[in-house]
Amino acid sequence: MTIPAFGLGTFRLKDEVVIASVKNALELGYRTIDTAQIYDNEAAVGQAIAESGVPRDALFITTKIWIENLSKEKLVPSLIESLKKLRTDYVDLTLIHWPSPDDAVEVEEFMSALLAAKKQGLTREIGISNFTIPLMEKAIASVGAENIATNQIELSPYLQNRQVVEWAQQHGIHITSYMTLAYGKALKDETILRIAAKHSATAAQVILAWAMGEGYAVIPSSTKPENLASNLLAQDLQLDQEDKKAIAALDCNDRLVSPEGLAPKWD
């Protein structure tokens, strides 16, 4: 099973806001939804999906295990709780949201528990998020690269994370990009705006098309129906070599997500 290239993110969206976003997205044709235990919106996402009338087998739903649930005693029960909230018997992809701070829970323990969840049919695929190269090595040693569907990492024109990307790709691990628009900062970038004007596209479309063109999956979020619709069109935009070269030059290792006490030692 391959990870869909384009989906809807729900980070920081809650209650009626996330219900509206998910419903609007599904109506527009989105079929991939990304949530997480810590977002505190799984129940709202589940409600939106149920009310949308879109059949479950047409959807690709991702959730992520929070650090407090990484132990072998807690991981599977926490995922079962997530499934109840999402009103589904299984998710398509379950990720370890962040590696355990200070290795409080060993990689081998939580990856083995996650693989057990897959074998129980609670999730069709498993993967990781915010994993560095040393952590990916440990994950592969624990469950095999063939059992790691993706590594979801912060990746934008300003943080292209080439070292991690190349290592992952060499070992057969797909990359999902989050924070692809750099909290909206990249939407004002002169280089991006120039490329957008050239293609009669929006800045967001250019950035999302760039990421997908690099082979990454993207999960932008939006609360505005017009932006949800516009972002979808990024799938049809083809950038040329000149565009790609210009965006490659924007990389400045500008990381926006590095929570103290949670972030690993970045590559």
Amino acid code (one letter) for 140: I
DSSP conformation class of 3? P
* Rg (the chain; Cα; Å): 18
- Interatomic CA distance for residues 24 and 226, integer angstroms: 10
- Interatomic CA distance for residues 181 and 172, integer angstroms: 25
Amino acid code (one letter) for 236: D
Identify the helix (H) or strand (E) that includes residue 190. Answer: helix 190-198
Backbone φ, ψ for residue 117 (5° rounding): -60, -40
Assigned token pair, 39: 């977002």
Closest among 64, 239, 98 to 157, alpha carbons compared: 239
Respond yes or no: is residue 39 known to be catalytic. yes
Assigned token pair, 156: 């934008």
Closest among 48, 49, 134 to 99, alpha carbons compared: 134
Catalytic pick among 39, 158, 178, 216: 39
Supply the residues annotated as catalytic: 39
